[in-house]
Amino acid sequence: MQSGLKKIAFVHDTFPFGGAERVTIDIANYLSSCGLEIYIFTGKFDKDKYPKNTPQNFKVIELGEPTITKSKKDTLELIKYTNELDIQIVTCVVKEMEYINLLLENTACKYVFAHHGTPFWEAHNKIDMASKRRNNSVGTFLEWLFISYPKYHIFKSHKRRFYKLYYDTYIKADRYTVLCEDYKRELVKSLNLSSNNNIRAIPNLEHEVENINLSKKKQILFVGRLSHSDKRVDRLVDIWEKAYRELPDWELIIVGDGEERKNLEERSRNAKLERISFKGFTSNVKPYYDSASILCLTSTFEGWGLCLTEAQANGVVPIAFDCSAGVRSIISPSGVNGILITPFNITKFASELIALAKDHDRLEKMKYNVIEKSKEYSITVVGKKWLNLFEELV
C-alpha cells in the first residue's frame, strides 16, 4: 500500500454473533484482498456460526475470557499482540473496551470505534422496559404516569444521561463511525461537536446476489433475533392476525431464535393463527430470500437492519416501521424501495401489507427497484470507504 497501511485489527466479544460480525467478516476479507493483514481478536470464536461458503482471509485470535470488552486480562493480551505484530489500527465494534485507556497508553496504534446502532439506543431501550413494566400493578402504573413518562418524554433525561458516555468514547477515538449521515448529524448536535470532527458515516455493506430467483412465492418473511426490547416480533404476530384472512393463499415465515420464541409461538396458537411458521436459527437464510416476496420488520429501534438490505439484494420488498434514520435511509423513498410505516401503527402496517400482497404489478415493479437500490451498499463501494478511513490515520 502506498500509504504505509499494513495491519488492522477488529475486536468483538463473540465472533461471529450477529449482523455486526457479519459486516466485519466482509470488510476484513475486502481489506485482505487489498493486501492488508487483518486480525480479529475475540473472547470466543464460534466456528459453527461462521457463514458457510464464506472465505476467511484473516486471522482470528481468541484471548481467553468470553467478554473481551470487560476483561483487563484480555486487554493486556491485546496490548501484547498489538505491539508484537505491529498492528497500526485497532477497531472496537459495537462495544468499547472497558480498559481501552490501557491499550492507548501502552501501544502506538490508532483507535477506531464503530457504532453499529442508533445513537442513544440505550435510552429507547429504557423507555421500552419502563413501558413494559407499567401494567404489572397499580403502583408501577402510577410510577410510570407521574415519574417515568415525564422523565422520558418531557424532560428527555433518558437521553442526557448518555451524552457523557458517548462523548467520552468519542474523544478517545481517532475516528468514530456511524451508519448514516443523519446519525452523524444527531451526534454532532447532541455532543456539541465542531464541523471539523472525527465522525464518519459508513453504511453496512451488502453482497450483490448472483442468479437472483425472481420467481417468488406468496410468502412473507421475518429474519432476525426473537427479542422483545428491540425486534418486537409480537407486533408482527398481531399484524398477521389482522391480515391472514385477507390473504388466504399467503404464509408468514419467521426465521430466527431468541428468548421470545416460546411466547410468540404461544401467542400464535392462542389466537389460532393460520399459515404462520417458526423456523428457528439457520446460518443459511438464502433459500428463504429466494422464495419470499415481502419482508417485514417491526422493530422499536434498528440501527441499520441488515435484513432489509439482504432482502433488497434478493428482490424481496421490505415493509418496516420508520423507527430510525438507518431504516429510512435504506427504504426511502417509501413506495419505491419498500414501504415505511408510521411507528407503531399496527393497523396501518397490516393494511399496507395486504394492499401490497394483492397488487401483483406493484410488487413486481418494486422487486426490481430494490435490487437496484441494494447496489449502493456493495462491497466495493463500502469497502473503499473503510479503506479510505484507515488510510487517513496512517
Please give the domain boundaries of the chain with CATH numbers for all domains. Answer: 7-116+173-205+378-393 (3.40.50.2000), 123-156 (no CATH), 219-377 (3.40.50.2000)
What's the pLDDT score for residue 130? Answer: 47
- Please check the confidence at residue 76 and state whether its pLDDT lies above 70: yes
Average pLDDT for residues 357-373, to the nearest whole number?
A: 97
pTM of the model: 0.83
161 contacts 120 by C-beta, under 8 angstroms: no
Residues 281, 259: Cα–Cα separation, whole Å: 12
Amino acid symbol at 305: G
Residues 266, 304: Cα–Cα separation, whole Å: 29
What's the pLDDT score for residue 122? Answer: 67
Residues 38, 15: Cα–Cα separation, whole Å: 14
What's the pLDDT score for residue 155? Answer: 41
When mean pLDDT is compared across 25-29, 133-137, 306-310, 369-373, the lowest value belongs to 133-137
356 contacts 294 by C-beta, under 8 angstroms: yes
Each residue's pLDDT tens digit, 155-190: 455 567 788 889 999 999 999 999 999 999 999 999
**Cα end-to-end distance, the chain, whole Å:** 11
Neighbours of 102 (CB within 10 A): 15
Give the confidence band of 251 by pLDDT, cuts at 50, 70, 90.
very high
What's the pLDDT score for residue 207? Answer: 87
When mean pLDDT is compared across 48-57, 135-144, 161-170, 363-372, the lowest value belongs to 135-144
Nine-digit cell string for 61 = 485470535
What's the pLDDT score for residue 144? Answer: 44
Over the range 183-197, which residues count as b (16 or more CB within 10 Å of their CB) and which as e? bbebbeebbebeeee
By the 10 Å C-beta count (0-12 exposed, 13-18 middle, 19+ buried), 265 is classed as middle
